[in-house]
Chain A
Amino acid sequence: MALIRWEQFDPVGSMLALQEELGRALRNPAFNLGLSAYGAYPPINLFDDGEGLVVMAELPGVEPASVNLVVQRNTLTLTGSRPRDEAKEPGAFHRREREFGEYSRSIQLPEGLDLEKTSARFEAGVLTVKIPKSPEAKPRQIAVESA
């Protein structure tokens, strides 16, 4: 069997590029995804991991403890601020491309999630929120008995 290496194949890259195209089409106001305007910060990716919904957001330079995450009535809200980290020291800037300030983002969650079991992790500037499906929403195998 031929071995496909990650670097050659890059499924995430091509997958996300495709999704980006799709997203552009879906940003058309004719589609209502219940998501905030594009360009809002932080940018969010939504995934299905088989167990439920995974929400990922890129928040570089943000302290994990400062992230304010609230789930209420099928709305997930993410607020906080990214303070400047270099202001105190003297010197002149040659480049200033990074963004600082406050952020606030809300997304509508689909039905059938067990919000009580929401968990969140912050690692290397990326927030990952996992919300499992509620037991009722999971496919259930029904044993078929013979008469």
Chain B
Amino acid sequence: MMPEQEIATREKQEVQGAEKTRAGRYFVPAVDIRENENELKLWADMPGVAEKDVEVSLNDGMLTIIGKVSPAVYDKLSPLYTEYNVGNYFRQFELNEDVDETRIKARMRNGVLEVELPKRERARPRRIEVTTA
């Protein structure tokens, strides 16, 4: 077995491009995407986001992920020293694969979003019975 690698921190990147109508900071979550013949699976690191504050949607082949952090956590805290920024998460992917929207599943566990995107079953060849008159 390979020795476990040590983790290094990467600074959070703020979302570039089209501005959101709602102000507040949005960061790009780190994502893994894996594909096999049956499905696409996506994981996104979104620490600080509770299950109820995640939004996953698929619109015209565009997968959108939004995670909101609760500002209430920081209500009575004054920072002494900070190494990471706190903000919401936003990321979009255009899906090339034909995904069955009705079977998408998403769950949140320990600050990681996991999305299962099953591929649509191919239309099966149908045999047409030929009957004699």
Q: Which residues of A contact B (CB under 8 A)?
A: 6-8, 10, 12-13, 15-17, 19-20, 23, 26, 33, 35, 38-50, 53-54, 58-64, 81-82, 85-86, 89-104, 122-126
Chain B residue nearest to A92 in the complex (CB): B35
Q: Which residues of B contact A94 (CB under 8 A)?
A: 33-35
Contact A103 B81 (CB under 8 A): no
**CA of A109 to CA of B21 in the docked complex: distance in angstroms?**
41
Q: B47 to nearest A CB, angstroms?
A: 4
* A13 with B83: CB separation less than 8 A: no
Docked-complex contact A63 and B9, CB < 8 angstroms: no
A102 near B6 (CB under 8 angstroms)? yes
In the complex, per-residue mask of B20-38: 1 if CB is within 8 Å of any chain A CB, else 0: 0011110000111111100
Partner of B6, one of A12, A97, A103: A103
B85 within 8 A of A: yes
Inter-chain CA distance A6–B10, complex, in Å, is 27
Residue of B nearest to A61 (CB): B112
**Residues 31 to 65 of chain B near chain A (Cβ within 8 Å):** 31-36, 41, 43, 45-50
A12, A82, A101: the one contacting B74 at CB < 8 Å is: A12
Q: Which residue of A lies closest to B44 (CB)?
A: A98
Q: A47-B77, A101-B4, A103-B7 are in contact. List 6 more A-B contacts (CB 8 A).
A: A10-B24, A16-B86, A40-B8, A60-B112, A85-B43, A92-B34
**Contact of A92 (CB < 8 Å), options: B23, B36, B50, B81:** B36
Contact B46 A16 (CB under 8 A): no
Q: What B residues does A60 contact at CB under 8 A?
A: 45-47, 110-112
* Residues B48 and A124 in contact, CB atoms below 8 Å apart: yes
Task: Establish whether residues B86 and A13, one from each chain, have CB atoms under 8 Å apart when the complex forms.
Answer: yes
The answer to whether B110 and A41 have CB atoms under 8 Å apart is no
Question: B83 touching A23 by the CB < 8 A rule?
Answer: yes
B110 touches A40 (CB 8 A): no
Any A CB within 8 A of the CB of B125:
no
| B-chain residues with CB within 8 Å of residue A81 when the two chains form the complex | 4
- B25, B82, B84, B111: the one contacting A124 at CB < 8 Å is B111
Known: A46-B82, A102-B4, A126-B111. A12 touches B71 (CB 8 A): yes
A–B pairs, 24, beta carbons within 8 Å: A6-B24, A10-B23, A23-B83, A46-B79, A46-B82, A48-B78, A48-B80, A58-B48, A58-B111, A61-B109, A63-B110, A85-B43, A86-B41, A93-B34, A94-B34, A97-B30, A97-B32, A101-B4, A102-B4, A102-B5, A124-B49, A125-B112, A126-B47, A126-B111
Answer whether residue B76 sits at the interface, using C-beta atoms and an 8 A cutoff.
yes
